[in-house]
Structure 1
Amino acid sequence: MMQLHVIDETSSLKAVILGTAESCGPVPKPEEAYDPKSLEHILAGTYPEEADMINEMDGFAKVFEKHGVRVYRPEVLENCNQIFSRDIAFVIEDKLFHSNILPDREREFDAIHGVLELIDPTKIIRPPEEVHIEGGDVMPWGDYIFVGTYTGADYPDFITARTNKAAVEFLKAQFPDKTVKAFELRKSNTNAKENALHLDCCFQPVGKNKAILHKNGFLVEEEYQWLVDFFGKENIFEIDKDEMYQMFSNVFSISPEVVVSECNFTRLNDWLREQGFTVEEIPYAEIAKQEGLLRCSTMPLIRS
Structure 2
Amino acid sequence: MNKLNLNVIDETSRLRAVILGTAASNGPVPALEDAYDPKSREHILAGTYPTNEDMVIEMEAVNAVFQKYDVKVYRPTHIEDCNQIFTRDIGFVINDVFVKANILPDREEEIEAIQYIIDQINPDKVIRPPEEVHIEGGDVMLHGEYIFVGTYRGEDYADYIIARTNVEAIDWLKKTFPNKKVVSFNLRKDNLDPYNNALHLDCCFQPVGNGKCIIHKNGFLQEEEYQYLVDFFGKENCFEITQEEMYYMNSNIFSIAPDVVISEKNFTRLNTWLRSHGITVEEVPYAEISKQEGLLRCSTLPLIRD
- Counterpart mapping for 1:105-144 below 5 A: 105-144=107-146
Aligned match of 1:252 in 251, 254, 263?
A: 254
TM-score normalised to the size of structure 2? Answer: 0.99
Structure 2 counterpart of 1:183: 185
- Quote the Cα distance in structure 1 between the aligned partners of 2:127 and 2:116: 17
Shift >6 Å, 4+ stretches: none
- Quote the Cα distance in structure 1 between the aligned partners of 2:272 and 2:240: 14
Q: Counterpart of 2:289 in structure 1: which amino acid?
A: I
TM-score normalised to the size of structure 1? Answer: 1.00
Look up the SS of the partner of 2:257 in the other structure: coil
Aligned match of 1:55 in 54, 57, 67?
A: 57
Look up the SS of the partner of 2:278 in the other structure: coil
- Quote the Cα distance in structure 1 between the aligned partners of 2:124 and 2:275: 42
- Quote the Cα distance in structure 1 between the aligned partners of 2:209 and 2:265: 19
Aligned match of 1:217 in 216, 219, 236?
A: 219
Aligned match of 2:39 in 33, 37, 40?
A: 37
Look up the SS of the partner of 1:172 in the other structure: helix
Aligned match of 2:279 in 277, 287, 294?
A: 277
How many residue pairs were aligned?
304
- Quote the Cα distance in structure 2 between the aligned partners of 1:121 and 1:232: 40
- Quote the Cα distance in structure 2 between the aligned partners of 1:164 and 1:278: 36
Say whether 1:19 aligns with 2:46.
no
Structure 1 residue 88: Cα displacement: 0.1
- Quote the Cα distance in structure 1 between the aligned partners of 2:128 and 2:179: 20
Structure 1 residue 140: Cα displacement: 1.0
Q: Counterpart of 2:165 in structure 1: which amino acid?
A: T
Structure 2 counterpart of 1:295: 297
- Quote the Cα distance in structure 2 between the aligned partners of 1:268 and 1:96: 31
Cα RMSD (Å): 0.4
Give the unaligned 5+ runs of structure 2. Answer: none
Structure 1 counterpart of 2:97: 95
Structure 1 residue 117: Cα displacement: 1.4
- Quote the Cα distance in structure 1 between the aligned partners of 2:115 and 2:221: 37
Give the unaligned 5+ runs of structure 1. Answer: none
Per-residue Cα deviation, 1:54-105 (whole angstroms, up to 9, x for no partner)? 0000000000000000000000101000000000000000000000000000
Look up the SS of the partner of 1:296 in the other structure: coil
Q: Counterpart of 2:179 in structure 1: which amino acid?
A: D
Identity in percent: 67
- Quote the Cα distance in structure 2 between the aligned partners of 1:148 and 1:86: 14
- Quote the Cα distance in structure 2 between the aligned partners of 1:212 and 1:80: 31
Q: Counterpart of 1:133 in structure 2: which amino acid?
A: I
